[in-house]
């Protein structure tokens, strides 16, 4: 069970193992982009390419889906970034159990955004673990963990997620025989060490110039790539108070004392600590451009303040 590209190495590990794959479950096809084209998930596309049976239930816990799963009679279910919570009835159907591949060292960063949160918090290391699922969020006993890897200084969420996905695929390959024959060991998580990360919402990308440092904003820009990105608001000309959204797509931290939110030469914006130099940006309704090109036509923004709304 999986949905994004990050789940593909795990499915590949199952295919390469030559075990019988009864079915692949993924999220339904969705409309995307301005033209609302219907797109299948990366896992669905990969599974169909390998002639696997694919199911796309709107709800994994519906009575129809539970009946389907009972019909398939699986020995075990493997989950990687599926995108839905499995209820207790679902978890009890596989004979061996359901196992989830999680992109952090549990019990740290339980929840939906461990990759993004690791970057935004400035963690130095992370990894992948495999847990036997129970009906509590990422709280099941651990059955395997990878070695720690360093988070690179300029690494974005897609880059780190891709590395962790490959590590996860290897973890599945090594431990699959143990899962099948029941020779795996279970280590209970220490609840006292548990931390959590939520589903990322669009408004979290809005920069709070008077509350966040340049370093914090830079880390958030890498964590929130490609969505929701980081953004603020500016007045598109000097004769109006109407604000428009502006997204910053490439930034770097500069040392110095600046007023939070004020735009300086070379499009350096002040924060509570240091300055954020904007290298590339995307004004609302326009294409991405470098900050130099933007300032050529919008020099009046120098000395002005970016707004929070």
Q: Quick: pLDDT tens for 124-174.
A: 999 999 999 999 999 999 999 999 999 999 999 999 999 999 999 999 999
Task: Find the helix packing angle between 8-17 and 157-181, rounded to 10°.
Answer: 30
Residues 71, 73: Cα–Cα separation, whole Å: 5
Average of per-residue pLDDT across 295-300:
94
Q: Quick: pLDDT tens for 172-221.
A: 999 999 999 999 999 999 999 999 999 999 999 999 999 999 999 999 99
State percent of the chain over pLDDT 70. Answer: 99
Residues 11, 2: Cα–Cα separation, whole Å: 8
Residues 219 and 120: beta-carbon distance below 8 Å = yes
Region(s) of the chain under CATH 3.10.25.10: 202-301
Q: Quick: pLDDT tens for 18-75.
A: 899 999 999 999 988 777 789 999 999 999 999 999 999 999 999 999 999 999 999 9
CATH architecture of 202-301: Roll (3.10)
Q: For residue 266, what is the DSSP state? A: G
Average of per-residue pLDDT across 279-302:
96
The model's confidence at residue 309, banded by pLDDT at 50, 70 and 90, is low
Q: Could you tell me the fold of the domain covering 5-197?
A: Rossmann fold (3.40.50)
Residues 143, 295: Cα–Cα separation, whole Å: 54
Average of per-residue pLDDT across 271-282:
98
Residues 101, 5: Cα–Cα separation, whole Å: 14
SS3 call for 309 = coil
pLDDT, position 236? 82
As a whole number, the mean pLDDT across the chain is 96
The model's confidence at residue 308, banded by pLDDT at 50, 70 and 90, is low
Residues whose CB falls within 8 Å of the CB of residue 66, separated by 6 or more in sequence, listed in order: 89, 90, 93
pLDDT, position 241? 77
User: Which residues sit opposite 206 in a β-bridge?
Assistant: 231
Region(s) of the chain under CATH 3.40.50.170: 5-197
Q: Quick: pLDDT tens for 215-254.
A: 999 999 999 999 999 999 998 877 777 899 999 999 999 9
Q: In the chain, how many H helices and how many E strands?
A: 8, 18
pTM of the model: 0.95
């Amino acid at each position: 069970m999986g949905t994004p590209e990050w789940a593909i190495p795990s499915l590949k590990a199952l295919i390469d193992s030559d075990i019988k794959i009864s079915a692949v479950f993924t999220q339904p096809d969705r409309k995307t982009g301005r033209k609302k084209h219907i797109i299948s998930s990366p896992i669905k596309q990969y599974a169909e390419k390998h002639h696997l049976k694919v199911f796309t239930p709107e709800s994994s816990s519906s009575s129809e889906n539970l009946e389907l799963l009972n019909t398939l009679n699986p020995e075990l279910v493997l989950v990687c970034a599926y995108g839905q919570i499995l209820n207790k009835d679902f978890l009890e159907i596989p004979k061996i159990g359901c196992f989830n591949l999680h992109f952090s060292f549990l019990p740290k960063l339980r929840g939906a955004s461990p990759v993004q949160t690791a970057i935004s918090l400035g963690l130095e290391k992370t990894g992948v673990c495999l847990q036997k699922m129970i009906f509590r969020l990422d709280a099941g006993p651990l059955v395997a963990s990878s070695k720690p890897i360093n988070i690179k200084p300029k690494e974005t969420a897609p880059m780190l997620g891709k590395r962790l996905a490959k590590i996860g695929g290897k973890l599945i390959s090594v431990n699959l025989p143990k899962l099948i024959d029941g020779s795996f060991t279970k280590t209970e998580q220490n609840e006292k060490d548990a931390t959590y990360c939520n589903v990322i919402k669009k408004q979290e990308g809005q920069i709070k110039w008077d509350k966040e440092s340049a370093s914090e904003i830079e880390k958030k820009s890498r964590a929130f790539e490609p969505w929701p990105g980081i953004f603020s608001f500016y007045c598109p000309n000097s004769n109006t108070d109407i604000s428009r959204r502006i997204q910053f797509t490439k930034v770097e931290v500069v040392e110095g004392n600046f007023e939070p939110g004020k735009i300086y030469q070379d499009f350096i914006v002040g924060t509570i600590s240091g300055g954020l130099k904007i290298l590339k940006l995307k004004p609302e309704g326009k294409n991405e451009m470098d900050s130099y090109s933007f300032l050529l036509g919008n020099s009046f923004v120098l000395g002005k303040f970016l707004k929070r709304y």
